[in-house]
Structure 1
Amino acid sequence: MRFKLLAVITLTGVLALGTSAQANIPFFSDKDETPTLAPMLEEVTPAVVNISVKGSREVRQRIPDMFRFFFGPNGPREQVQERPFRGLGSGVIIDAENGYVVTNNHVIEGATEILVTLKDGEQFDAEVIGTDANSDIALLKIKNGENLTEVEIGRSRDLRVGDFVVAIGNPFGLGQTVTSGIVSALGRSGLGIEEIENFIQTDAAINSGNSGGALVTLDGQLIGINTAILGPTGGNIGIGFAIPSDMMQALVQQLIEFGEVRRGVLGVRGNDLTADIAEALNLDAKQGAFIAEVLPESAAAKAGLQSGDVIVGVNGEKIRSFGDLTARVKTLGIGKPINITVLRDGDTQTFSVTLTAEETSVEAEQLHPALQGATLAPADGGGITITELEEGSMAARYGLRKDDIIVAVNRQGVNSVAELRNVLDNAEGVVALNIQRGNSSLYLVLRGG
């Protein structure tokens, strides 16, 4: 079971590192050379804040069968109520002059009031500049903030497995807490925690309330936003995840400029480079993203990428897997040229690619024959909405209606046309659509394709 609880990290063994490995890091006090991280933390912790929120959320409850007759045969199957909620989390000040704070989207989602508390207890109201639910990033702005401290942002691309890290956050509402650990793995994806995953894994002790907190190096540079843990009981088992700072910065720049993330699309399908694929292609490589298909008229096709290519780098940064590639591309904005390094026929080649925009509307027949007559587009609150529906069309005969929202296909959530296309392409046989229709949720089964 996976939980979105944010992170504080427990670092054991750091004192044994000594001064030889990183001489510039302030391990020792000036007084008696007792091992300590206190000098670094005194500089960094004022930039980590506690976040408390208030708001209301929709709560859906199934109406018991015995009461449905009151509403008639076409009445609602669910009762929807607005219920107030309160929440706690953490955040990091990345720009003191403008009062910008980065946190997780799930910390502030649905909030109507956001209160930021500094380490010294001073409190400020905050407003939302923009959010990206797919990567779980949110950018806040502190109102009328004074004497703020920002953290220096490091390059997560330079991290190595085994590097020591320190986490700062607000677990269980206790107040600011510091823990430590090491980088356990890099480029973690396929966990089902977020749509876009390229996590730093750490053995940090991550608990509820630490979401949005800072993961920093021993010299005080921010290299991650603590986001989630993997734990069967909701407690820490030494497997925590953080959003890399490089990814966070790219998203934040778009949120500042546009108020939203304008995600780019490369236009390829594929999978991780495996030993079997590398042997078949006679490639001297162990990691990368194997391209099985290049979509016609896509950015990749226009740049000259081909099926059979293995992408090993984006803008000079190593690509470890297809999930890694997906996260990098979806973090970058549209319209900006990027350099993609591929292995082709044993040679290394670099292509300049200009990412195109995600599909915003599509004739659904292109995705599945049973959807003929429907026009689809991403819904504001998640899922794919049917914006137009031809009367008497195949989609209408299957029971779809205008304004229906497709929230999942074969129990796999979809939030973009590209996601829907990918799920339908990989579906075999019967396709079950989970539809949100007004206050009701239902399943429709499609055949053919």
Structure 2
Amino acid sequence: MTFELPVKFLRRTAIASGAAVVLFAGFAGAPALFASAQEINPSAVVPPSGAPMSFADLIERVRPAVVSISVRQRPDAAQGQSQEGLPPGFEEFFRGRPGRPGPAPTSLGSGFFVDQSGVIVTNHHVIEGAEEITIRTSDGRDVQADIVGSDEATDIAVLRVRGGGRYQYVTFDDASHVRVGDWVVAVGNPFGLDGTATAGIVSAMGRRDAGSSAYVDYMQIDAPINRGNSGGPTFDLNGNVIGVNSAIFSPTGGNVGIGFAIPANTANGIVRQLLASGRVTRGWIGVSIQPLDDDIARSLGLEEAQGALVASVVPDGPAARAGIQQGDVILTFDGNRIEDSRDLTQRVGATAIGANSRIEILRNGQRRNLTMRLLERPSEQQLLASATPTPNETPEPEAGTGGGVAQAGLGVSVRPLAQADRARYELTGNEGGLVITQVDPSSDAAQKGIQAGDLILQAGGRAVRTTAELNSAVQTARRAGRPLLLQVDGRTGRRFVAADVGEG
């Protein structure tokens, strides 16, 4: 959320600015110290190639298209929302004084016109829970706006001002040409200060660890942005929008030189869908996937950790109908190499609903080609509702101090399932497994997070129900000189783990 700073903070800043002016005035008042210095001809100062002498013309041209957004939220939308990052002692300005009701919850953000009729792009989190949205234009007019559509997955929202009119606007450019080191200019509404402009460079491209979205590879910039810049544009030197400011990395809540923008090519595609139908649709194949690490790749005979490992398959979903199984590795999608699980998610999401897609998988060391017809991805609420529940806490095994048959190669002891275990682990159909009763703390299995009470469902790509089957899988992996791929169900849900089996 974004909040306007109280007056006393602004006053303190003004005092500091005044001190700086006095300092420079006194410094300039001693001309004798510099009487022999050669006067510098300003026209002789030439900026380096590609560096503008000033951003003033650019900012003057684009600022009329940038707006401030004030959102009055529904009372229920404010419940549980924290006002993190407030300066110490400022909480009463936002939460109301003790014993008195506070003001209606309000958030502030930025946005920009993308056509002359009054269509505005901003962030989803700026307008989330909105009861009333007020737009302040660069010339100080306040107009009301309505939500056209919003996409939480990419944090993009589209608004339209009421009453029509003609507005200056800016356009998206394809951000694929942007390079690290290129100049950028951000214009927005930090802390409610309308029309603030800052400049910097592109610090990095393709940041995947900047947010929780699997659909955005963020552009990192060092142009200062703060709370209230959310939803504002990032410009190149031609005045084109190459990003939508979305987040900052900050231990304090203020700018530390690390900001993140949604690249224009991602944002523009979402905006077009929202304008066309008010919603965003994405392809879906009906699997949950997990990343491949080096150990899992070695256990599967892959030379590198490339592809997406299928952790589970939705019954009767597109993948299930196409014959994909748990433990398969998806290597290509429509002829494109899959780098990792995130790459697959993005490619599938960008594929048209109903399209027939070609997929290459790896199963038991063999490559296979499959074809599947994509469906529309359900909402996050639907996916959560249909997901197989997992226990919040897996109970300790009955023989907590021992018991079970030791598997020396893995460093674990296991026992067969008892009837009571089926309900405990919420097993369905013919699912079986072996309950882990002990784990050697020095084993690789322990280092990979396997614990007593976990359930081994598969070993080496095959279901295991007996200690003999597990021992056979250990011996096979040992002869191949590879880790053993296990499917484990436990406190962190179902996952695949590759554990070393020793040399025997």
Q: Using structure 2 for the length normalisation, give the TM-score.
A: 0.54
1:106 maps to amino acid:
H
**In the alignment, what sits opposite 1:267?**
286
Q: Which segment drifts farther, 350-359 or 243-252?
A: 350-359
**In the alignment, what sits opposite 2:330?**
309
SS at match of 2:180: coil
2:137 maps to amino acid:
L
Q: Deviations over 1:52-95 (max 9, x none)?
A: 2223323559xxxxxxxxxxxxxxxxxxx996122221002122
User: What is the aligned counterpart of 2:388 among 357, 367, 376?
Assistant: 367
Tell me how far apart the structure 1 counterparts of residues 289 and 343 of structure 2 sit (CA, whole Å).
12
SS at match of 1:84: coil
**Do structure 1's residue 36 and structure 2's residue 71 form an aligned pair?**
no
SS at match of 2:308: strand
**In the alignment, what sits opposite 2:144?**
125
**In the alignment, what sits opposite 1:18?**
49
Q: Deviations over 1:406-446 (max 9, x none)?
A: xxxxxxxxxxxxxxxxxxx9872388xxxxxxxxxxxxxxx
**In the alignment, what sits opposite 2:124?**
105
SS at match of 2:329: coil
SS at match of 2:114: strand
User: What is the aligned counterpart of 2:67 among 15, 33, 49?
Assistant: 49
1:86 maps to amino acid:
T
Are the aligned partners of 1:166 and 1:216 in contact in 2 as well (CA < 8 Å)? yes
How many residue pairs get aligned? The number is: 332
- Following TM superposition, by how much is the alpha carbon of 1:212 offset from its aligned partner in structure 2, in angstroms? 0.3
- Following TM superposition, by how much is the alpha carbon of 1:355 offset from its aligned partner in structure 2, in angstroms? 4.2
- Following TM superposition, by how much is the alpha carbon of 1:277 offset from its aligned partner in structure 2, in angstroms? 6.7
Q: 1:333 to 1:248 in 2, by over 3 A?
A: farther
User: What is the aligned counterpart of 2:246 among 199, 224, 227?
Assistant: 227
**In the alignment, what sits opposite 1:160?**
179
- Following TM superposition, by how much is the alpha carbon of 1:151 offset from its aligned partner in structure 2, in angstroms? 1.4
Tell me how far apart the structure 2 counterparts of residues 248 and 222 of structure 1 sit (CA, whole Å).
10
- Following TM superposition, by how much is the alpha carbon of 1:278 offset from its aligned partner in structure 2, in angstroms? 7.0
User: What is the aligned counterpart of 1:429 among 491, 494, 497?
Assistant: 491
- Following TM superposition, by how much is the alpha carbon of 1:229 offset from its aligned partner in structure 2, in angstroms? 0.7
- Name the one with the larger helix percent: 2
- Following TM superposition, by how much is the alpha carbon of 1:188 offset from its aligned partner in structure 2, in angstroms? 2.4
1:149 maps to amino acid:
Q
Query: What is the correspondence of 1:322-333 to structure 2 with a 5 Å cutoff?
Result: 322-327=341-346, 329-330=348-349, 332=350
1:429 maps to amino acid:
R
Tell me how far apart the structure 2 counterparts of residues 262 and 82 of structure 1 sit (CA, whole Å).
39
- Following TM superposition, by how much is the alpha carbon of 1:334 offset from its aligned partner in structure 2, in angstroms? 5.6
Are the aligned partners of 2:109 and 2:231 in contact in 1 as well (CA < 8 Å)? yes
**In the alignment, what sits opposite 1:378?**
none
**In the alignment, what sits opposite 1:94?**
114
Tell me how far apart the structure 1 counterparts of residues 268 and 335 of structure 2 sit (CA, whole Å).
15
Tell me how far apart the structure 2 counterparts of residues 267 and 44 of structure 1 sit (CA, whole Å).
44
| Alignment gaps of 5+ in structure 1 | 6-14, 20-26, 29-34, 62-80, 372-393, 396-424, 432-449
Q: Which segment drifts farther, 358-367 or 243-252?
A: 358-367
Q: Using structure 1 for the length normalisation, give the TM-score.
A: 0.60
Are the aligned partners of 1:167 and 1:216 in contact in 2 as well (CA < 8 Å)? yes
**In the alignment, what sits opposite 1:174?**
193
Are the aligned partners of 1:162 and 1:183 in contact in 2 as well (CA < 8 Å)? yes
Q: 1:429 to 1:155 in 2, by over 3 A?
A: same
2:168 maps to amino acid:
T
User: What is the aligned counterpart of 1:115 among 116, 134, 137?
Assistant: 134
Tell me how far apart the structure 2 counterparts of residues 315 and 150 of structure 1 sit (CA, whole Å).
39
Q: Deviations over 1:117-153 (max 9, x none)?
A: 2222233221111122233221100122423122121
**In the alignment, what sits opposite 1:237?**
256
2:490 maps to amino acid:
E
C-alpha RMSD of the superposition: 4.4
- Following TM superposition, by how much is the alpha carbon of 1:336 offset from its aligned partner in structure 2, in angstroms? 5.5
Q: Deviations over 1:325-344 (max 9, x none)?
A: 434544x4761638778798
Tell me how far apart the structure 2 counterparts of residues 57 and 106 of structure 1 sit (CA, whole Å).
16
Tell me how far apart the structure 2 counterparts of residues 17 and 253 of structure 1 sit (CA, whole Å).
38
Query: What is the correspondence of 1:317-396 to structure 2 with a 5 Å cutoff?
Result: 321-327=340-346, 329-330=348-349, 332=350, 335=353, 337=355, 354-358=374-378, 367-368=388-389
Tell me how far apart the structure 2 counterparts of residues 106 and 363 of structure 1 sit (CA, whole Å).
21
Report percent identity of matched pairs. Answer: 36
Are the aligned partners of 2:72 and 2:131 in contact in 1 as well (CA < 8 Å)? yes
SS at match of 1:256: helix
1:45 maps to amino acid:
R
Query: What is the correspondence of 1:238-253 to structure 2 with a 5 Å cutoff?
Result: 238-253=257-272
- Following TM superposition, by how much is the alpha carbon of 1:115 offset from its aligned partner in structure 2, in angstroms? 1.7
Which protein is bigger by CA-based radius of gyration? 2
Tell me how far apart the structure 1 counterparts of residues 175 and 277 of structure 2 sit (CA, whole Å).
24
2:374 maps to amino acid:
T
1:166 maps to amino acid:
V
Are the aligned partners of 1:282 and 1:346 in contact in 2 as well (CA < 8 Å)? no
Q: Deviations over 1:264-309 (max 9, x none)?
A: 32334444465667778888988x6434457365445667888333
